[in-house]
Structure 1
Amino acid sequence: MTENAKRATLYRMVMPDHVCPYGIKSKWQLERHGYTVDDHWLTTREATDAFKWEHSVQTTPQTFIDGKRIGGNDDLTRFLGGRVAEPGATSYRPVIALFGMTAALAMAASFAVTGSPFTVRAAEWFVSFSMCVLAMLKLQDVEKFSSMFLNYDLLARRWVPYAYAYPFLEGLAGVLMAAGALPWFAAPLGLTIGTIGAVSVFKAVYVDRRTLKCACVGGSSNVPLGFVSLTENLFMIGMALWMIAGPGGMAM
């Protein structure tokens, strides 16, 4: 079979009330890699169940190449040389995306206000915007966040309500720091929660040598506790000290 004559057979659910997204992805992957796709639609639940029974599979879509069953969309991705993240695998992608976006947003805001993306104000906004977005992620599921947070935060383990209050406190500090408002309140708040957090993370990871998931980007992440969470807290401490010292536009 030549490169230009590659063919694949795809079975996927296409029903009036449901089109399988993984089937769409499989078709796109095959076409992107030069395959001509014989696209077979399973248009009813009965047809889908019959197909699964016939081929002894649990899910659709299913791809066949040269008469051999490749499998579902993840199996196809691996077959075509792609990478599939394993469930529960460590990933720093959420953190990279978050800090990349807040950095871009801070520079955009600085450019809109001052005409330059590279200003002290941009650095201040980067920290405060990051705090706000991190707080927002935690607030998506406060119950789950609090359970993860209680694994390592020293104050929360002594006073559980702090685990529930933390995302609100971080978000409030971030908003006030972004606005440069109430520095007499925002700076001590950021300094307090940042210091408690930094000490807690340092003790759990570098003293007790515990392996934990970080609650810094919410309760559903697979980011390991360590450098990222410590950086988050050091950002808060640094921003608070910057406000207290008053060398920039957010001076007291």
Structure 2
Amino acid sequence: MLQFAANLSWMYAELPFDDRFEAAARDGFTAVEILSPYAWPATELAARLKAHGLSLVLLNAPPGGSDAAGIDSAWASGQKGTACLPGREAEFRAGFAVALQYAQALSCPRIHVMAGVVPGGVDRETVQPTYIANLGHAAAQAAGAGVEILIEPINTRDIPRFFLNRQDHAHEIIREVGAANLKVQMDLYHCQVVEGDVAMKLRKYIPTGHVGHIQVAGSPGRNEPDVGELNYSYLFSVLEELNYTGWIGGEYKPLRGDQAGATSAGLGWLKSR
């Protein structure tokens, strides 16, 4: 049976953040993702999760900075990670240490490390050694805590010059780093935008055991999974056929925007499962 998690940074955006936990639980979710939890004390988040019977199954490492103010500033300025950026290794390690502290405090088993944007005039080959080294450090630090590190191919329409875009490249990185707790976060929306042929990508990569998490959204608008060109009913059946046992996160913008009850009203895709 497939397991679904609500991404509280994208879903239930019509509600104040503190109210999204209750709303997700009311809609039947038992697990959630949070893009950036660092604006709230971990103890406060832990209490909200416990109060509503929710598990946190994924959080992101900071896009930059290493304290709440610095991380917030990095998001506001559009930073998308520092893992591939030469000269910012100390910042990456400090930020990752904060992420690992939150993961342990919140019993979260996965941290997504965003690769970052390749600087203008620089090619991917030049920055890849920095990316490899930073991922090796993060995986080693997380291994002792029983935490997985995830890397996610993201399309360059949404984030121009993002370092990691394709599934095959992500799996090459996994092999090069060689850490058992480093896996791919396979977002089917990004996969469709960049590569298409999503069902065959699932059939190729799920059996490797190197896909640690899946996220879904409709394409091309990144709305509910049942809006757009992807046939998620079929893709979910493929995942069942492949005996995928990980979580599937809903990381999408509800089509009804900030209307009251917008997210709940768009959960037909989930209720039909």
TM-score, with structure 1 as normaliser:
0.23
TM-score, with structure 2 as normaliser:
0.22
Larger relative contact order (CA 8 Å, sep ≥ 6):
2
